Amino acid sequence: GNSVTQMEGPVTLSEEAFLTINCTYTATGYPSLFWYVQYPGEGLQLLLKATKADDKGSNKGFEATYRKETTSFHLEKGSVQVSDSAVYFCALSGYSTLTFGKGTMLLVSP
């Protein structure tokens, strides 16, 4: 079956540092890939997505590239801000449901 593996957190960074959160997946077929973000006390919000190999999703300075050869979809940001502190979830699609990773907490200090 489908599965998603994310790096464990928390990831702690200083403001303006470079961020990478690793995500690898196992899936049948050609899934779409997503990153969701969850701020404290809120639901999940779609951050970015990619629907086919070599696609790059981007939003709010975050980027992730769909790498079929390494079955990966790593999230990156060049310069994080305190306001980026949240939990980040990688997910992949089946036909009508999404499978999520366990989430990675990011803590950014001033």
CB of 62 to other proteins, least distance (A): 15
Distance CA 7, CA 64 (A): 15
Q: For residue 10, say if its preceding peptide bond is cis, omega within 30 degrees of 0.
A: yes
Contact indicator for 75, 19 with CB cutoff of 8 Å: yes
95 binds other proteins (CB under 8 A): yes
* Smaller CB separation from other proteins, 70 or 95: 95
Between the alpha carbon of residue 36 and those of residues 39, 42, 103, the distances in Å are 10, 12, 9
Segment contacting other proteins by CB under 8 A, of 20-28, 58-66, 77-85, 89-97: 89-97
- Which residue, 57 or 108, has its beta carbon nearer to other proteins? 57
In the complex, least distance from residue 19 CB atom to other proteins, rounded to whole angstroms: 20
